[in-house]
Amino acid sequence: MLLHVRLCGWACWCLFSGVFSVFSLQQRLTVSLNGKWRLSNSNGSLLLPAQVPGCVHSALQQQGYITDPYFRFNDVSYRWIALNNWTYTTTFTLSAELSVKQKVLLVFDGVDTVGSISLNGIALGKTYNMFCRYVCLIGLLSPILYASEQRKAHTSYVVPPECPPGVQKGECHVNFIRKEQSSFSWDWGPSFPTMGLWKGVRLEAFDILQLVQVSSVPLYNDAFSQWRVQVELLIDAVQTARGQLTLSIPELDSEQTFQTHFNPGKTKSNFTILINTANQVKLWWPNGHGEQPFYRLTIRGFQDEFLIFSTESKVYFRTVELIQEPVVGSPGLSFYFRINGKPIFLKGSNWIPVHSFQDQVTPDVLTYIPLLPHVCRYVSGLFSILLSLMPDLSVCLSCSLKNLLQSAVDANMNALRVWGGGVYEQDLFYEICDELGIMVWQDFMFACAMYPTETDFIQTVREEVVQQVQRLKSHPSIIIWSGNNENEAALATDWFDIPASQRPKYIRDYVMLYVDNIKKVVQEEDQSRPFLVSSPTNGAESEQEGWVAENPYDPHYGDVHFYSYILDCWDWRTFPRTRFASEYGFQSWPSFSTLQPVSIKEDWSYGSNFTSHRQHHEDGNQQMILQAALHFHLPNATDPLKRFTDTLYITQVMQAQCVKTQTEFYRRSRSEIIEGKGHTMGALYWQLNDIWQAPSWSSIEFGGKWKMLHYFAQSFFAAVLPVAFEEDDTLFIYAISDLSRDLKLRVNVFSWTELDPVCTLNSSMLLVPGGSAVAVFKQPVATLLAGCGNCTRLTCLLTFQLEDDSSQQGPTDHHFLCSPKDAQGLRRPNITVSIDFYSEMTLHSDSVAPFVWLDVGNIPGRFSSNGFLMVSRNRTVDFTAWRPTSVAELTASLTITSLRDIY
């Protein structure tokens, strides 16, 4: 059989005819068509092998037609690829066994994006939506040309934005194609409008019926104090058949059998299994609040006592509620999540696509490889040989889902928002989130744009939503569905200069897409979790106002996105005291070792063409420098490379300190209402990860390396955290705790010139209830300094920590009494280091050193802490390598930078 896929994009289901006969379960056959296909461009001048799943860019690179698409300016140089049409072709033999089946389906799990599929020259179907599974043959159209044609055909009114801002070097009209919206460029990402069979292709052949999809949703009945599990089966049957279905969760002594019948074609049926109340059900909890236990659910189908299918899946029990109710002392409504009845503060960040080419995202489960001291000592030569034989691990680590999600949890996050301009992530992503206790705020894939509402567009979106909700709803990690990113705000605050007379039409379109269709479909498919129409939104209040609130950024309602690059980020008064901060952040540059492989020497200055090419946010490079200059001396080295790397460093210091200040403000606003605002219950900064090597808001670089911000996040998201701030020259320190604890505070006052504290203050023990932020210290700064040697704001700084009876609880935090650029007595430190065979690094410093940054270049791995304030002579830090390394390699690669080293 000759299978063609001309690219444009869906999952097609193609039906092959078969001979009727009755077979049992064992005769269901699946034949993978993944592997090597042929790929050609429209005039046939390029013909090459291509891996499926994969995309055209990856195939061209793998076959040596192009070099690394991420190198220098290749995002623009390789635009020709997405302006062409491409055809994927394969041949396969239909085995005798397969061809006698009653039904044979050709299934495409993901086609990117607009395509037509033919088999032996016969057209089978067309694809239009990257996010749908199609059953059918594929030729792919240029997504850029398709989007532009769709735009041209839409003559009655404009659907903005027409194009992204010039600084993004992107392509236009991405809102006209159901494809990853950021693939046409974003303010942190390149334009690589991909094409390909980005998920698997297979033949499915069966008799009688096959189980296409199983999902299960646990529901709790308060009145009866009983759990039940709603099981939904999507069954494809060849003919009407009667049968029995048995659901069982043996560990909970629960089993039920149902008489049922299967109709021909694809049908959905729901069954509910009641959980035996004699059992104590173990609940799934978010990270930091408990375990993530699951139970095995077995589903068996019988016909005439013959087993015709059997499958097993995991069930996790938890409830989720989004609470929007009046708040005492505050106008508006609360906005927080209750999991298993417990209010939970969401700590985390926003997730964007891990790679421009999704086929290069790896599932890799990292095994940490510690240095083996004895082996190392004697066979260090062997290690070098091993290293040279290893594949380039940094390539796969960069895209490892496990590595990124583990990094989120290791930074004490309990939530991630899968942002609406990317992709619905692969199953593995949600499975890992289930296992790690990461709560997922799941957007639907619409962002920063208006969308068409023609019938075919709405139809494909409805299919997309049905498929995605059915695929994902069994995951306890997903705690909310959210319709879009910032489209309510775009309408409310008129991003696209829509004339007042036309506004009602756009609002009608908005309501039609997100409320009348997406919301309705989601609620038909899943009643077990809340749905929000947009982010940011005023939630229930937006609904009252016809779904587009006058001000969706109102801090008294819903969630808020807040960015300000110009205002001083050390001044917490500039931040909105919102109910829930779902986006906020500052940019920084990744480290030199991340940039080096995609650049050359002439690129390594802050004013180079490369540096401005990779910056996709208007004035971004300048904003970082201006923000940094508010509190720090800027790098002034005469050596151009040192000046460049010092500049990368200072942008990371600035970002880490800014996001720390803002996050601490949100966490300490949890229990208070001030001037009618507060009870903040979420802090998700923008953004966790990067799609390529470029400046962005991320805390993890492309390649998996933690920026200084990510090390800071480990502290500012800690379960127990002390936070200091000033108001009218009075110093306040709050104890914030996710857990109920008796805590006391210790404050150390240091002079910038000395490594021993000038004085120490201790508070008495106080009960800090779980889930609260409590003031534990209040003193005018002048009084505090007067009692502490000759300290002034310019000569001294504070560190502080919480302790229980026996030990320190949570991290040590710091508070500067002036900008470090004004600090008197801050000297350039001499920091020496020794590294042992366990990759433990012992640092020795001869003076106070702020923002001490350890960097081992391109050795992948991470430190136990980094970017810290060194106020002691000695400090040990562990380095966990993600591939074998040696003391010699670490020693040769290690650089140490602190604030005073850059000027």
User: 605, 620, 494: which is closest to 167 by C-alpha?
Assistant: 620
Nearer to ligand BMA, 112 or 486 (CB): 486
Applying the rule CB under 6 A, the residues between 23 and 82 that interact with ligand BMA are none
Q: What is the largest CA-CA distance in the chain?
A: 95
Tokens for 839?
Answer: 């990759």
Minimal distance in Å, beta carbon 585 to ligand BMA? 7
Nearer to ligand BMA, 176 or 446 (CB): 446
Nearer to ligand BMA, 495 or 903 (CB): 495
136, 320, 344, 448: which one contacts ligand BMA (CB under 6 A)? 448
Tokens for 202?
Answer: 């297979």
Nearer to ligand BMA, 541 or 583 (CB): 583
Interaction mask 560-599, ligand BMA, x per CB under 6 A: -x---------------------x----------------
Minimal distance in Å, beta carbon 838 to ligand BMA? 40
The helix/strand/coil state of 489 is helix
Beta strands in 92-155 (DSSP E): 103-108, 115-119, 122-127, 139-140
State yes or no: residue 444 binds ligand BMA (CB under 6 A). no
Minimal distance in Å, beta carbon 537 to ligand BMA? 13
Applying the rule CB under 6 A, the residues between 389 and 428 that interact with ligand BMA are 421
Minimal distance in Å, beta carbon 694 to ligand BMA? 12
Amino acid at 488: E
Yes or no: say if 655 and 586 are a contact pair by the CB < 8 Å rule.
yes
Residues 6+ apart with CB under 8 A from 788: 749, 758, 759, 796
Amino acid at 535: S
Nearer to ligand BMA, 224 or 563 (CB): 563
Nearer to ligand BMA, 106 or 448 (CB): 448
Binding residues for ligand BMA, total number by CB under 6 A: 12
Minimal distance in Å, beta carbon 589 to ligand BMA? 16
Tokens for 160?
Answer: 């903005």
Residue 445 CA to residue 358 CA, distance in Å, equals 16
Nearer to ligand BMA, 189 or 678 (CB): 189
Yes or no: say if 197 and 138 are a contact pair by the CB < 8 Å rule.
yes
State yes or no: residue 181 binds ligand BMA (CB under 6 A). no
Minimal distance in Å, beta carbon 658 to ligand BMA? 14
Nearer to ligand BMA, 176 or 584 (CB): 584
Radius of gyration of the CA atoms of the chain, in A:
29
Minimal distance in Å, beta carbon 359 to ligand BMA? 23
Minimal distance in Å, beta carbon 576 to ligand BMA? 15
Applying the rule CB under 6 A, the residues between 536 and 565 that interact with ligand BMA are 561
State yes or no: residue 478 binds ligand BMA (CB under 6 A). no
For 181, 186, 447, 593, 641, the CA distances from 189, given in Å and listed in that order, are 11, 5, 14, 19, 25
**Catalytic residue of the set 486, 525, 541, 664:** 486
Contacts of range 299-302, beta carbons closer than 8 Å, 24 or more positions apart: 299/211, 299/214, 299/231, 299/233, 299/245, 299/246, 299/247, 300/245, 300/246, 301/209, 301/211, 301/243, 301/244, 301/245, 302/243, 302/244, 302/245, 302/246
State yes or no: residue 485 binds ligand BMA (CB under 6 A). yes
- Considering only the stretches 180-188, 427-435, 598-606, 709-717, report the one whose residues sit in contact with ligand BMA under the rule CB under 6 A: 180-188
Instruction: Please give the full DSSP string across 701-757, using - where no structure is assigned.
Output: -TTSPBPHHHHHHHHHT-SEEEEEEEETTEEEEEEEESS-EEEEEEEEEEETT-SS-
Nearer to ligand BMA, 533 or 890 (CB): 533
Applying the rule CB under 6 A, the residues between 328 and 357 that interact with ligand BMA are none
Minimal distance in Å, beta carbon 353 to ligand BMA? 12
Minimal distance in Å, beta carbon 421 to ligand BMA? 6
- Considering only the stretches 75-83, 181-189, 192-200, 464-472, report the one whose residues sit in contact with ligand BMA under the rule CB under 6 A: 181-189
State yes or no: residue 188 binds ligand BMA (CB under 6 A). yes
Start-end of H helices in 596-698: 609-613, 620-629, 640-668
Minimal distance in Å, beta carbon 513 to ligand BMA? 18
User: 893, 896, 882: which is closest to 854 by C-alpha?
Assistant: 896
**Catalytic residue of the set 180, 425, 583, 664:** 583
176, 184, 186, 531: which one contacts ligand BMA (CB under 6 A)? 186
Left, alpha or beta for 198 (phi > 0: left; psi -120 to 50: alpha)?
alpha
Residue 98's Cα: distance from chain center in Å? 41
Q: In 104-136, which positions are buried (b, 16+ CB within 10 angstroms) versus exposed (e)?
A: bbbbbbbbbbbbbbbbeeeebbbbbbbbbbbbb
Nearer to ligand BMA, 196 or 585 (CB): 585
Amino acid at 135: V
Cβ neighbours, 10 Å, residue 81: 23
Left, alpha or beta for 304 (phi > 0: left; psi -120 to 50: alpha)?
left
The helix/strand/coil state of 80 is helix
Residues 6+ apart with CB under 8 A from 768: 735, 736, 737, 740, 741, 742, 743, 774, 776
Residue 839 CA to residue 887 CA, distance in Å, equals 7
State yes or no: residue 901 binds ligand BMA (CB under 6 A). no
- Considering only the stretches 186-194, 331-339, 668-676, 826-834, report the one whose residues sit in contact with ligand BMA under the rule CB under 6 A: 186-194
Residues 6+ apart with CB under 8 A from 113: 7, 8, 9, 10, 127, 128, 129, 130, 140, 143, 146, 177, 178, 179, 195
Nearer to ligand BMA, 421 or 884 (CB): 421
Residue 586 CA to residue 658 CA, distance in Å, equals 7
Nearer to ligand BMA, 394 or 485 (CB): 485
Residue 600 CA to residue 644 CA, distance in Å, equals 13
Tokens for 13?
Answer: 């289901």
10, 131, 644, 686: which one contacts ligand BMA (CB under 6 A)? 686
Tokens for 844?
Answer: 């020795």
Active site residue 486: yes
- Considering only the stretches 184-192, 330-338, 751-759, 803-811, report the one whose residues sit in contact with ligand BMA under the rule CB under 6 A: 184-192
Tokens for 179?
Answer: 């494809």
Minimal distance in Å, beta carbon 594 to ligand BMA? 19
For 35, 96, 352, the CA distances from 717, given in Å and listed in that order, are 43, 59, 20
Interaction mask 697-736, ligand BMA, x per CB under 6 A: x---------------------------------------
- Considering only the stretches 183-191, 354-362, 455-463, 825-833, report the one whose residues sit in contact with ligand BMA under the rule CB under 6 A: 183-191
Nearer to ligand BMA, 187 or 434 (CB): 187
State yes or no: residue 187 binds ligand BMA (CB under 6 A). yes
User: 859, 865, 867: which is closest to 887 by C-alpha?
Assistant: 859
Minimal distance in Å, beta carbon 186 to ligand BMA? 6
User: 320, 351, 354, 355: which is closest to 415 by C-alpha?
Assistant: 351
486, 488, 646, 855: which one contacts ligand BMA (CB under 6 A)? 486
- Applying CB under 6 A, the residues found at the interface with ligand BMA are 186-188, 421, 447-448, 485-486, 561, 583, 686, 697
Residues annotated catalytic, as ranges: 486, 583
